[in-house]
Structure 1
Amino acid sequence: MGDISHHWNLDFLRNDPLDTAPKRVLIILNQPFSCSLLQRLWNSTCWHCCADGGANRLLDTLRQQNHNTAFYLPDLIRGDLDSLRPDVREYYDSKGVLVEKDDDQDSTDLMKCISAIIEKEKTEGTSQYEIILLGGLAGRLDQTIHTLSYLHKLRKVRDRVYAVTDDNVCWVLDSGEHIIEIDHTILGVTCGLLPVGIESTILSTSGLRWNLTNHTSSFDGLVSTSNHLVPGVDVWVKTSKPILWTIELREQFR
């Protein structure tokens, strides 16, 4: 995949995702999120999975905002179930939601949910779903690092995996060239290119306020944080190694 030019758009963040959008699935992690973001991502995805305590977050958030909990029923709750509250399990059991316990101590709840998606694809004989993670970039630092590490590893076997919070959306740009469509109705101005999981990379960009041309980026050197998007212009990135791309969401969108 590294030598292929990739084209990215974030229509799954819109209230009206495109009819031609690819099939996507949603994994809800055990971190805070707003109902407005949940609604957008839920409506943009065709299958929904809670990673253990993510089911607590889902039910609590819906109840706090007086939303219809029966409308947002996940297709699966999966994990070692050490975080799933008894009252939450009782509720989803009563609604017929499948709850699967996986005691594998060598995998996290997120990894268990990814495995469920792979199993689903094999059973259906379908091509890869795009995966959206709701959460994973806030709270405990070790969990955030796990999310970033797993995104980095998944690029080898998955075409498109995004992590989304009320503040940011991020994903890994593999080595090669990328065009990123910028929709300023949903995206803020601040973005970054983060050399996570690599020693260094050679970066070139266009469409940013501070562009790079064949510039080395590493934790020991330059890291392009707090860069800005340019209104009305898509972003082009060329990178010699995988790099994490992140963009903030508009405040009014949250």
Structure 2
Amino acid sequence: MPARPRTCVPLPAGLLKLHDNAFWTTSSPHETNPLALIVINGIGLISCFDHLWEKARFTVCADGGANKLYDYIKRDKVVPPKNYIPQYIKGDLDSIRPEVASYFELQGTQVIKDSDQDSNDLDKCLSLLRTLQRDLNANGHGDAVKLNVLVVGAMGGRFDQEMQNVNALFQWYRRALSSIFHRMTLVSDSTSATLLVPGTHCIRPNFAVEGRTCGLIPVGNLLYGKLLCRAKSNGVLRRVL
């Protein structure tokens, strides 16, 4: 059966936020923002990891995430391994194995120790990306560049760590009362999650790597006892929860 054409609700330019994940596996005309990958010490890499790594403008491992990348290189005998060297490793460095830190440092990775106990390793990496984003715009012209951030290995595993990652979606929106980055998405080999800020959104999953189930969770989305989240699927408007 041929795939249904994917259309979005027609709205004036600027009022519709498009979430198109086609760029995960192909070149998408809808995704022009530079890609930044953060690898954290969660469960698994996604099947399209090689494609995303190749096109990423910035690559960062959060502490123990470097172990996962190193094991991927060695276990799967990735060729050439030099293509999978992160630009940065950042965190309190209590999880990264010594041989992993030494290997990547010899390959040119900048290893940054941040012992601040009031922030977790993901927050530390996001702070680094915010600085890199500012540097991109320091001498730029025209519209400001915002990074498209994918956090790999963020879902699954320990529930407290998973919720900590979800909390980062909210915190990094609230800190500026707007989106610091263009998009921020948590991904794993089985699911993905992003924050839908107030407004109208069109979600286009990438069925090459994602399933056909899309869940909307209006966390804390109550105003005077009324739910404010609505979804339209196949032309039918539905109330969420």
Q: Normalization by structure 1: what TM-score? A: 0.76
Report the structure, 1 or 2, having the larger strand content: 1
What is the rounded CA distance, in whole Å, between the counterparts of 2:133 and 2:104 in structure 1?
Answer: 24
Q: Deviation string for 1:151-187 (max 9, x for gaps)?
A: 1222333231011111112101111111122443333
Taking the aligned partners of 1:49 and 1:42, their CA distance within structure 2 comes to 10
1:203 paired with 2:229, answer yes
1:109 aligns with 2:98: no
Name 1:243's counterpart in structure 2.
none
Give CA deviations for 1:34-67 in whole Å, capped at 9, x if unaligned.
4733213212311100000000000012211111
Is 1:11 aligned to 2:29, yes or no?
A: no
For CA contacts below 8 A with separation 6 or more, give which structure has more relative contact order: 2
Question: How far apart in 2 are the matches of 1:145 and 1:157?
Answer: 20
Q: 1:87 aligns with which of 84, 99, 122?
A: 99
Q: Is the 8 A contact 1:31 1:135 kept in 2?
A: yes
Secondary structure in 1 matching 2:82: coil
Percent identity (aligned): 30
Matched, 1:55 2:77: no
Structure 1 residue 8, shift from structure 2 partner: 1.6
2:60 pairs with 1:38 = no
Distance 1:209 1:194, change over 3 A: farther
Output the CA distance in 2 between the equivalents of 1:179 and 1:121: 25
**What does residue 120 of structure 1 align with?**
132
Work out whether 1:147 is the aligned partner of 2:165. Answer: yes
Partner-residue secondary structure (3-state), 1:99: strand
Q: Which residue of 2 aligns with 1:188?
A: 211
Contact 1:22–1:130 (CA under 8 A) maintained in structure 2: yes
SS in 1 for 2:195: strand
1:168 aligned onto 2:186: no
Q: By how many angstroms is 1:130 displaced?
A: 1.1
- Counterpart of 2:149 in 1: which secondary structure? strand
Counterpart of 1:195 in structure 2: which amino acid? P
Q: Give the superposition deviation at 1:22.
A: 1.9
For 2:27, give the aligned amino acid.
P
What is the total number of aligned residue pairs between the two structures? 212
CA distance in 1, matches of 2:84, 2:46: 11
The CA deviation string for residues 102-154 of structure 1, in whole angstroms up to 9 with x for no partner, is: 11111110000011111112223262211110011111111111111111222
What letter corresponds to residue 132 of structure 1 in structure 2?
A: L
Give the distance between the partners of 1:183 and 1:35, measured in 2 at CA: 13
Gap change, CA 1:99 and 1:198, over 3 Å in 2: same
Rounded to whole Å, the distance in 2 between the matches of 1:72 and 1:134 is 14
Whole-angstrom distance in 2 between the partners of 1:157 and 1:22: 14
Paired letter, 2:122: L
* Aligned-pair Cα RMSD in Å: 2.2
1:25 CA drift (Å) = 0.5
**2:9 — aligned with what?**
none
